[in-house]
């Protein structure tokens, strides 16, 4: 492990934090490469990779619109000792090249009985933003969480945007980092940069409460926190537990939290059926947590995502809907 | 001759006026989200759609407003779609990047790069079995030429002599990256030879040239001669999307583009041929009038009803 830089505190937005992590990683790991569509000279469609090309030259480059080649070449380069950090501009676009993630990257270590590894990181972003069409709105984490061999995380704060990426790139297995474009330009916060590589996994308690546990991830974390604040005013204590790492998933921490409050709601932006919320509920059930009420899942209904904001708003969970369903869970 | 060119001018002005109005509405607020304009590229849809039959199937991209208009989709329904109104061509479900209007032979935009090409092959294939004389047209950008789905579709259509016309709108950029940096052989039309089909690089800023080549390609396709690739050289005068800072442009680039853009060029030609300036200007006015009226009507329509958001998922 190379020497890590001294920790320092900087005021960074979410996108800037990703950028800071990429700068650090390229400095400390000479085997890293950064590439993808528009990431080099233009610095990314969201500006997240700005300045890297200037600082690191040929290790940062633009690619053709060829997701299979981007991902496949990352697998190949990773097997040969490079540590590629590739960008898939929207998670929706990974679907044109799933083979390279599911059949290829995820198999490398296992099938070679550990003789080969594929330490690549795929950065992408997902979810709805007002006006986005059905092919630019999907939340696909459950698809990837069904793939053994692939690590998956979803940061929702500038600090986690930094930390999770650092951890991901240092990991010797393929990791998918799913960012969220509605967060890129959010408020700057104090971010500790540098320092040791954070461990993989763990949860973040984003709001304290003892009546009900809300498990959530991604941008929904902040809708859940808003809901918790609303309900706090009504005397309902909502503990919001964010699980930024979905694989590995900290089952123990989630089970412990549900065991304390004995009520569980899972909130995600993805549609409910086959969503990872089902897995969370199953794990808590299997652990034998004696819940006071049946657990609930809050997500988008099972439908395509419409472009019109008025239609999309009717489908996506927001603070009011979360608060309403959690209130019913607690009060009956 | 000048009559047809005046008709082309009107058709191009309809698209440009529409796109300019869309830009205003996007910047003012009634349109929300990502929008990709085709300003500067109008001659391609105008020339191509002029020779399409109603039963032909057209597959466009997110930069497809002009194709929808040239196919005859009512602009009021397009504005309404962009503003999330119940009267939108997709009732608000599609949005800017995903218009569809099958009843106008407009089988839709697509916001996954290259995805329309295999689908067009299927529309052409279906024509073999339904007794129609249908041809399918798939439109995509220069950047899409590097997408696996497009390669697969070209070979699929060629291997089976399918009546498909591949229309590549080469505006020299894929988002913020020049296509010249992403390929070794810059003449994309040359790739056609590798699939065993004809490929032509044509002036995409000349509706007449597009019309001529499109008619030819359709004829070959309907006669069982298989697909054709048309690489239509053009430029967008605007950013990739509204809000694009266009830092990738070279100094003077936009001035040069404006001198070659299809409307300016056609106007110049008409003037040189003795068409009175007033007549030429009247075309723009007519188009702008229609567009303003359509936008106002769309704006007056009610928003899509949230209670319907879950409808139309299954049969
Ligand atoms: C599979 C896929 N990859 C990436 C994108 C993101 N994207 C949207 S448009 C675009 C550029 C396309 O360039 P080109 O094909 O030349 O078409 P143009 O926009 O210039 O009309 C990219 C990369 C996408 N929509 N789909
Ligand atoms: Mg292009």
The structural domain count of chain B equals: 1
A73–chain B nearest CA distance, Å = 14
On whether residue B273 sits in a domain, the answer given is yes
Q: What is the pLDDT of residue A1?
A: 44
Contact at CB, A38 and B111, closer than 8 angstroms: no
For residue B62, the Cα-to-chain-centroid distance in whole angstroms is 9
Those residues with Cβ within 8 angstroms of residue A137's Cβ, 6 or more apart along the chain or in another chain: A92, A127, A128, A129, A305, A312
CA of B169 to the centre of ligand 2 (A): 7
Q: Answer yes or no: are the C-beta atoms of A158 and B119 closer than 8 Å.
A: no
Q: Answer yes or no: are the C-beta atoms of B6 and B270 closer than 8 Å.
A: yes
**ipTM surpassing 0.85, yes or no?**
yes
Which domains are seen in chain A, by residue range? Answer: 8-193 (3.40.50.970), 204-331 (3.40.50.920)
Nearest to A310 among B143, B176, B304 (CB): B304
On whether residue B308 sits in a domain, the answer given is no
Extract the residue ranges of chain A whose pLDDT is less than 50.
1-2
Tell me which residues of chain A, numbers 296 to 315, contact chain B at a CB-CB cutoff of 8 Å: 301-304, 306-315
- Residue A170 falls in the annotated catalytic set: no
On whether residue B313 sits in a domain, the answer given is no
On whether residue B197 sits in a domain, the answer given is yes
Q: What is the pLDDT of residue A6?
A: 86
On whether residue B309 sits in a domain, the answer given is no
The sign of the torsion formed by the CA atoms of B95, B99, B101, B104 equals positive
On whether residue B315 sits in a domain, the answer given is no
Q: What is the dihedral of CA A41, A44, A50, A55, to 10 degrees?
A: -50
Contact at CB, B84 and A308, closer than 8 angstroms: yes
pLDDT in tens, chain B (315 residues): 689 999 999 999 999 999 999 999 999 999 999 999 999 999 999 999 999 999 999 999 999 999 999 999 999 999 999 999 999 999 999 999 999 999 999 999 999 999 999 999 999 999 999 999 999 999 999 999 999 999 999 999 999 999 999 999 999 999 999 999 999 999 999 999 999 999 999 999 999 999 999 999 999 999 999 999 999 999 999 999 999 999 999 999 999 999 999 999 999 999 999 999 999 999 999 999 999 999 999 999 999 999 999 999 999
CATH number of the domain residue B179 falls in: 3.40.50.970
Residues from chain B that touch A68, judged by Cβ atoms under 8 A, are 148
Per the structure, the complete domain to which residue B55 belongs is given by 2-302
- Which is the closest atom of ligand 1 to the Cα of B111? 25
On whether residue B297 sits in a domain, the answer given is yes
Cα separation, A271 vs B168, in Å, equals 36
On whether residue B310 sits in a domain, the answer given is no
Q: What is the dihedral of CA B11, B162, B60, B256, to 10 degrees?
A: -60
State pTM to two decimals: 0.97
């Amino acid at each position: 492990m190379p020497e890590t830089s001294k920790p320092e505190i900087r005021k960074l937005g979410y996108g800037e934090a990703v950028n800071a992590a990429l700068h650090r990683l390229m400095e400390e790991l000479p085997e890293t490469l950064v590439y993808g569509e528009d990431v080099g000279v233009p610095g990314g469609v969201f500006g997240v990779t700005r300045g890297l090309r200037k600082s690191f030259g040929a290790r940062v480059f633009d690619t053709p619109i060829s997701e299979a080649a981007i991902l496949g070449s990352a697998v190949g380069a990773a097997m040969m000792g490079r540590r590629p950090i590739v960008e898939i501009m929207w998670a929706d676009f990974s679907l044109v090249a799933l083979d390279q993630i599911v059949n290829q990257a995820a198999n490398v270590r296992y099938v070679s009985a550990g003789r080969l590894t594929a330490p690549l990181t795929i950065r992408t972003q997902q979810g709805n933003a007002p006006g986005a069409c059905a092919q630019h709105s999907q939340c696909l984490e459950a698809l990837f969480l069904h793939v053994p061999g692939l690590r998956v995380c979803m940061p929702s704060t500038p600090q986690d945007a930094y930390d999770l990426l650092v951890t991901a790139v240092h990991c010797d297995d393929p990791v998918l980092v799913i960012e969220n474009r509605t967060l890129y330009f959010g408020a700057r916060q104090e971010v500790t940069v540098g320092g040791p590589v954070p461990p993989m996994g763990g949860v973040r308690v984003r709001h304290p409460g003892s009546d009900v546990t809300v498990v959530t991830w991604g941008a929904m974390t902040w809708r859940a926190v808003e809901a918790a604040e609303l309900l706090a005013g009504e005397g309902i204590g909502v503990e919001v537990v964010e699980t930024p790492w979905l694989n590995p998933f900290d089952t123990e921490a989630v089970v412990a939290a549900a065991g304390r409050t004995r009520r569980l709601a899972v909130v995600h932006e993805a549609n409910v059926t086959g969503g990872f919320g089902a897995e969370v509920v199953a794990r808590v059930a299997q652990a034998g947590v004696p819940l006071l009420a049946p657990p609930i899942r809050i997500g988008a209904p099972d439908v395509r995502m419409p472009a019109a904001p008025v239609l999309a708003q009717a489908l996506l969970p927001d603070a009011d809907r979360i608060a309403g369903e959690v209130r019913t869970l607690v009060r009956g | 001759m000048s009559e047809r060119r005046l008709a082309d001018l009107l058709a191009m002005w309809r698209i440009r006026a529409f796109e300019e109005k869309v830009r205003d509405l996007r910047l003012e607020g009634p349109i929300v989200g990502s929008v990709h304009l085709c300003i500067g590229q109008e001659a391609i849809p105008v020339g191509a759609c002029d020779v399409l039959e109603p039963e032909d199937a057209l597959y466009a991209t997110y930069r497809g407003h002009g194709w929808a208009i040239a196919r005859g989709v009512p602009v009021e329904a397009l504005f309404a779609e962009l503003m999330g109104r119940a009267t939108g061509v997709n009732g608000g479900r599609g949005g800017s990047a995903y218009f569809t209007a099958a009843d106008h032979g407009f089988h839709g935009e697509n916001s996954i790069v290259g995805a329309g090409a295999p689908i067009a092959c299927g529309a052409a294939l279906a024509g073999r079995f339904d007794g129609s004389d249908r041809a399918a047209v798939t439109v995509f950008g220069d950047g899409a030429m590097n997408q696996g789905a497009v390669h697969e579709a070209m070979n699929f259509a060629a291997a089976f002599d399918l009546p498909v016309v591949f229309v590549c709108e080469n505006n020299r950029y894929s988002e913020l990256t020049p296509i010249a940096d992403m390929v070794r052989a810059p003449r994309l039309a040359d790739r056609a030879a590798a699939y065993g089909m004809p490929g032509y690089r044509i002036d995409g800023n000349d509706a007449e040239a597009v019309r001529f080549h499109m008619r030819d390609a359709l004829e070959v396709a309907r006669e069982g001669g298989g697909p054709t690739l048309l690489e239509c050289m053009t430029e967008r005068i605007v950013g990739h999307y509204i809000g694009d800072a266009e830092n990738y442009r070279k100094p003077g680039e936009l001035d040069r583009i404006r001198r070659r853009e299809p409307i300016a060029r056609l106007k110049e030609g008409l003037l040189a041929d003795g068409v009175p300036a007033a007549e030429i200007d009247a075309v723009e006015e007519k188009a702008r009038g229609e567009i303003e009226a359509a936008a106002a009507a769309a704006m007056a329509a009610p928003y899509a009803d949230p209670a319907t958001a879950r409808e139309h998922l299954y049969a």
